[in-house]
Amino acid sequence: MKRNKKSQIKDSRNDRIFGFIVDFLLIIIGLVTLFPLIFVLSASVSDPVMVNSGKVLLLPKGFNLDGYLAVFENEWVLTGYRNSFIYTVVGTFLNVLVTFMAAYSLSRKDMYGHRLITIYMVFTMWFGGGLIPTFIVVNKLGLVNRPVVMVILGLISIYNCIICRSFIQTSIPYELQEAARIDGCNDFGIVWKIVFPLSKPVLAILCLYYALGHWNGYFNALIYLDDRKYQTLQIFLREILIQNSRVKVDDSVDLEAMVRRAQMAQVMKYSLIVVASVPMLIIYPFVQKFFVQGVMIGSIKG
| Span 25-44, contacts to other proteins by CB under 8 A | 25-27, 29-30, 33-34, 36-37, 39-40
The one segment of 62-70, 71-79, 168-176, 216-224 that binds other proteins by CB under 8 A: 216-224
Cβ-contact 224, 145 below 8 angstroms: yes
Residue by residue, DSSP assigns 176-199 as HHHHHHHTT--HHHIIIIIIHHHT
Separation CA 268–CA 66 (nearest Å): 8
Separation CA 55–CA 267 (nearest Å): 13
The one segment of 63-71, 73-81, 125-133, 245-253 that binds other proteins by CB under 8 A: 125-133
Residue 229 is classified by DSSP as G
Near other proteins in 159-178, by CB under 8 A: 161
Separation CA 92–CA 205 (nearest Å): 11
Cβ-contact 214, 88 below 8 angstroms: yes
Q: Is 150 in the site for other proteins (CB under 8 A)?
A: no
Q: How far is the CB of 200 from other proteins (least distance, A)?
A: 19
Whichever of 106 and 251 has its CB closer to other proteins, that residue is 106
Whichever of 92 and 99 has its CB closer to other proteins, that residue is 99
Pick the binder of other proteins from 5, 6, 63, 127 (CB under 8 A): 127
Longest dimension (CA), the chain: 85
Q: Is 258 in the site for other proteins (CB under 8 A)?
A: no
Q: How far is the CB of 208 from other proteins (least distance, A)?
A: 9
Q: Is 151 in the site for other proteins (CB under 8 A)?
A: no
Pick the binder of other proteins from 41, 86, 89, 101 (CB under 8 A): 101
Q: How far is the CB of 183 from other proteins (least distance, A)?
A: 16
Q: How far is the CB of 253 from other proteins (least distance, A)?
A: 23
Number of chain residues interacting with other proteins (CB under 8 A): 96
Whichever of 153 and 251 has its CB closer to other proteins, that residue is 153
Near other proteins in 62-91, by CB under 8 A: none
Near other proteins in 273-292, by CB under 8 A: 273, 276-277, 280-281, 284, 291-292
Q: How far is the CB of 290 from other proteins (least distance, A)?
A: 12
Cβ-contact 180, 189 below 8 angstroms: yes
Cβ-contact 121, 302 below 8 angstroms: no
Cβ-contact 161, 106 below 8 angstroms: yes
Residue by residue, DSSP assigns 30-58 as HHHHHHHHHHHHHHHTS-HHHHHTT--SS
Whichever of 33 and 252 has its CB closer to other proteins, that residue is 33
Cα Rg of the chain, angstroms: 26
